[in-house]
Structure 1
């Protein structure tokens, strides 16, 4: 017998997983709109809304894969 959730039942949501899926979607959209082979590390950080905490345009390591 197959177990099926009752109609109207509240689904359990993993908010961290949902946030990761949303960020992946944002990266896919940015990559599809990019002119060039790859997104730069700066563009990825911009899309993911992260900051390395360095102000004033400090050098960064763009050699990461």
Structure 2
């Protein structure tokens, strides 16, 4: 009986650790996604200005 309880406690501990790892990985993925979105937003504004300036210069050069 004691061995059964010991095995049961160990199996629950292992399952709990797996669940905690899954939560940690989920948080890491969310943080990376947030950083990518912030970077893309910041870069997008700069790229918009570059393409707008290039288009206006090409239009004025074409006459």
- Do Structure 1 and Structure 2 share a fold, with TM-score over 0.5? no
TM-score interval, smaller chain: 0.3 to 0.5
Flag the structure with larger Rg.
2
TM-score, structure 2 normalization:
0.35
Q: Which has the higher contact order (CA 8 A, sep 6+)?
A: 1
More helix by share: 2
